[in-house]
Structure 1
Amino acid sequence: MSLPFPNTLSSNLPWNPRLAHLRCLAALLVLMFHVFHAFFGNWQPHPDAFGFGWLVEGHTGVSLFFVLSGYLFMSIALRAEGALDYGRFLKNRTLRIFPLFAVVFMVAVSLNRDAFRPQDVLYLFFSNIGDPPTSKQLMTGAAWTISVEFTFYLIFPFLARFALAQGPGYLLRLIALLLLFKLGAFLLSERPTHMIYSTLLGRLDQFLIGMLAAQYAALYILRPLHGAWVIGAGLAVWALLEVQKCAASFFSPDPVQVAWLAWPTVEALAWALVVLSYAHWRGNLWSWLGRLLERGGEISFSLYLWHGLVIFLGMRLLGTPDWFASWRVNALLVGAGVLALSWGVASLSYRTIEAPFLEMRGRYVVKRNHVTLE
């Protein structure tokens, strides 16, 4: 597929369109999750929506994003034998996510101009805690994950170096220690479910599990996998989300759900199985579908940050659609419309805001004359 900005693609790894497909899937899950709750679900648990756990609890797309980040960057570190230039790595990651995030933050600050405080500027680095301006409305609310992601970038080169030196056991020990901290924080917090959902403490193990998956793939996946692995992994995630919808919904009125002590970890393990099985699947999608998902993966960051605005505008124009007796049919039609519009806006945003900055990235790994740019 020809691209308008060919230099925006990473040369850290041989291009694997499967990872782009999964990034597209993650963005689509979050988009449909927001469509459902904004128009129909009212941000409440829906244990009776049989088979639709992936929709009711579609925030799981964020977990997939985090697992993918750990997997991708650990795969790069494995090829580079841990030789990452820390400053250049952070520069590249800043060029990747900050320009569009800064636009969204500017919009949020403008919307809240009358309540603005000078210290709100610090929420550029802490969009997931406290009272950030981005979290006051749906149209900018998805930005809360950016600070979690960037904090992982700050420590990743060290984690990768130690994991390569000490093996997978290093990451397993970190996850165990993290679970102990989670237990203590869970017992101290007044709203531990939300704390685990929205902080690095609650999410770091998802990045670490992605890193573990990359190490596992390098050590043990020596040939392509049968499609049964992909189907089994997908069914495992589906079943897990059905359980969550019924027994551990994020929207439960109970702010203290013990299941959430382990939920991000279990969720990440299921998504890691999806990443491993699909990335190494020996089959192929139909070419048209593969190209479409690959394009969706390319614009996934814009799609993730822009779809809230499209949903907001749709809510103002449509209210709660009741065109047909079934909410499923209504949700399908509204979701298709929101997706089409969001896709168009995201494509424009990618070309205009993201791609020019991506061309400014420099080298942060040099191995055997191989230049990496991610």
Structure 2
Amino acid sequence: MSPALSDARRYDIDALRAIAFGLLILYHVGMFYVPWDWHVQSAYPASWLEPVMTFFNQWRMPLIFLISGLAVRFMRRGRSASMLARQRLLRLGLPLLFGMLVVVPPQAYVEALRNQAFEGGYLAFLGRYLQLQPWPAGSFAGAELGVTWNHLWYLPYVLFYTLVVIPLAPLLDRMSRRFVQLRGTALVLLPLLPLLAAGLWVYPQFPYISHSLIDDGYAHAMFGCCFLYGYLIGRDPALWAHVASLRWWLLGLGVLSFAMRSLFAAWLDTEASGPEGLAWLFSVYLNRWTWMLVVLAWAHWRLNRPMRWLGWANESVYPWYVLHQSLTVVIGFYAGRALLGPVVEPMVVLGGTLLGCWLLTGVIRRSAWLRPLFGLKPRQNATSRLQPEAVTGS
């Protein structure tokens, strides 16, 4: 049977948070090799990665936002609205600011070198970057604004959603009592309706996810909806037990939905309107929502128990998130210049990213003044590690 669910610590959500970040790191290393547009690219593209990346890309960020909404629901217990808002502003806002000024600039620097938009050393680049003045378009991602948050875009988004949810909590709690009564086919199909509406009416107006927060209507419709679903799912024991009991059925549906989406991508005009376009969108969102349910079901079934690695992972996951992409981009750029070959180079990029995150996080966890800059509690409070924080991102 599924492990009993109560008000005790939810180990499965702790574990999912860590696993989601691990998947994120692997995904961003993959972005260096998949033949898609990214900050920097390897000279050894791996086209075989495309279907793998496509599979995970459909639901990895929606799942992270769902887990974040769930975490905010957990965090509301024992906190006033103003206390929760202050905590989120500090724990998300400070790492975002520090990341934009210290962690992210190396990414922008090597991207500017790749784009031949800058020729000097890093200190000269940093001096120009910290002027917070616009750069010529195309210098690096976000150059037009003069400063960029790159992969840290998740932090302002989840902060915004959290601040919206807090005053709406009484209404959302009433909605949650209805949401957790969904069962079987209704649990799969009814949550698709807002997602389909976003695809039908919001996506045509905002066809490009900009990660800029302001003009990112489709991203907000998609990620905000998933954040809300996480909040609505909450702790309800009956719903979680039901989801876990459907794990094999959901896994089969997930395989079928991804196959359907892949076939429709090949057979249909994905930009068409009418029945053809509706069929495509249905396959996309069915696949996306089903795989989120698959992950929740299997995690609750297998991972809702104490595990030795969870304590370390819970405190390390946020620094790893903040650090990882800068390490991947910089290591990948200079490893590419060394022409290490299609076997050694990926080992260096992945190994360097993991080793760098591990070493730097070890320093951060032991430093009283670095901890808040990477979203960690003061050291004297770090051992409490109650429910997962609402910081799970790309």
TM-score grouping bracket, smaller chain normalisation = 0.5 to 0.7
The 2-side partners of 1:74 and 1:53 are apart by: 32
1:214 to 234, 240, 251: 234
The equivalent of 1:156 in structure 2 is 165
Identity value in percent: 14
State the AA in 1 paired with 2:82.
G
| TM-score normalized by the length of structure 1 | 0.65
1:86-97 matches, cutoff 5 A: 86-97=81-92
State the AA in 1 paired with 2:85.
L
The 1-side partners of 2:31 and 2:376 are apart by: 34
Gaps of 5+ in 2: 1-5, 39-44, 106-125, 135-140, 181-186, 390-394
Q: Cα–Cα, structure 1 residues 113 and 347, in superposed 2: closer, same or farther, change >3 Å?
A: same
State the AA in 1 paired with 2:291.
A
Give CA deviations for 1:30-70 in whole Å, capped at 9, x if unaligned. 211221222554538x9962795248855844323211112
1:95-244 matches, cutoff 5 A: 95-107=90-102, 110=126, 112-113=129-130, 116=133, 133=146, 135=148, 140-169=149-178, 176=193, 180=197, 183-189=200-206, 191-192=207-208, 199-214=219-234, 217-221=236-240, 225=244, 229=247, 233=251, 236=254, 240=258
Q: Give the C-alpha shift of residue 16 in structure 1.
A: 3.0
Alignment of 1:336 onto 2:370: no
Secondary structure, in 3 states, of the residue corresponding to 1:31? helix
State the AA in 2 paired with 1:164.
D
Q: Give the C-alpha shift of residue 96 in structure 1.
A: 2.0
Q: Does structure 1 conserve the Cα–Cα contact (< 8 Å) formed by 2:152 and 2:322?
A: yes
The 2-side partners of 1:221 and 1:302 are apart by: 30
The equivalent of 1:64 in structure 2 is 63
Q: Does structure 2 conserve the Cα–Cα contact (< 8 Å) formed by 1:31 and 1:307?
A: yes
The 1-side partners of 2:31 and 2:317 are apart by: 21
The 1-side partners of 2:30 and 2:82 are apart by: 41
The equivalent of 2:308 in structure 1 is 291
Q: Give the C-alpha shift of residue 338 in structure 1.
A: 1.6
Q: Does structure 2 conserve the Cα–Cα contact (< 8 Å) formed by 1:67 and 1:207?
A: yes
The 2-side partners of 1:235 and 1:307 are apart by: 33
Q: Cα–Cα, structure 1 residues 98 and 311, in superposed 2: closer, same or farther, change >3 Å?
A: same
Of structures 1 and 2, the larger Rg is shown by 2
The equivalent of 2:12 in structure 1 is 18
Q: Cα–Cα, structure 1 residues 132 and 150, in superposed 2: closer, same or farther, change >3 Å?
A: farther
1:314 to 331, 335, 347: 331
Q: Give the C-alpha shift of residue 149 in structure 1.
A: 0.4
Give CA deviations for 1:314-349 in whole Å, capped at 9, x if unaligned. 124311787566x6x853553233212222223333
| TM-score normalized by the length of structure 2 | 0.62
Q: Give the C-alpha shift of residue 164 in structure 1.
A: 2.2
Aligned residues: 322
Gaps of 5+ in 1: 1-11, 118-127, 249-253, 363-370
Q: Give the C-alpha shift of residue 302 in structure 1.
A: 1.4
Secondary structure, in 3 states, of the residue corresponding to 1:187? coil
1:37 to 31, 37, 51: 31
State the AA in 2 paired with 1:53.
V
State the AA in 1 paired with 2:247.
W
The equivalent of 1:271 in structure 2 is 292
The 1-side partners of 2:216 and 2:285 are apart by: 8
Q: Cα–Cα, structure 1 residues 103 and 279, in superposed 2: closer, same or farther, change >3 Å?
A: same
Q: Cα–Cα, structure 1 residues 221 and 149, in superposed 2: closer, same or farther, change >3 Å?
A: closer
The 2-side partners of 1:314 and 1:373 are apart by: 30
The 1-side partners of 2:250 and 2:345 are apart by: 30
State the AA in 2 paired with 1:354.
R
Q: Does structure 1 conserve the Cα–Cα contact (< 8 Å) formed by 2:32 and 2:332?
A: yes
Secondary structure, in 3 states, of the residue corresponding to 1:358? coil
Q: Give the C-alpha shift of residue 372 in structure 1.
A: 9.2
State the AA in 2 paired with 1:21.
A
The 1-side partners of 2:146 and 2:159 are apart by: 18
The 2-side partners of 1:181 and 1:338 are apart by: 36
Q: Give the C-alpha shift of residue 303 in structure 1.
A: 0.9
The 2-side partners of 1:178 and 1:39 are apart by: 30
The 1-side partners of 2:11 and 2:376 are apart by: 22
The 2-side partners of 1:39 and 1:50 are apart by: 8
The 2-side partners of 1:67 and 1:232 are apart by: 17
Secondary structure, in 3 states, of the residue corresponding to 1:14? coil
Coordinate RMSD, CA, aligned: 5.0
The 1-side partners of 2:332 and 2:229 are apart by: 37
State the AA in 2 paired with 1:92.
Q
Q: Does structure 1 conserve the Cα–Cα contact (< 8 Å) formed by 2:179 and 2:232?
A: no
The 2-side partners of 1:116 and 1:271 are apart by: 41
The 2-side partners of 1:53 and 1:245 are apart by: 15
Alignment of 1:85 onto 2:85: no
The equivalent of 1:5 in structure 2 is none
Q: Give the C-alpha shift of residue 196 in structure 1.
A: 6.5
Q: Does structure 2 conserve the Cα–Cα contact (< 8 Å) formed by 1:209 and 1:269?
A: no
The equivalent of 1:358 in structure 2 is 377
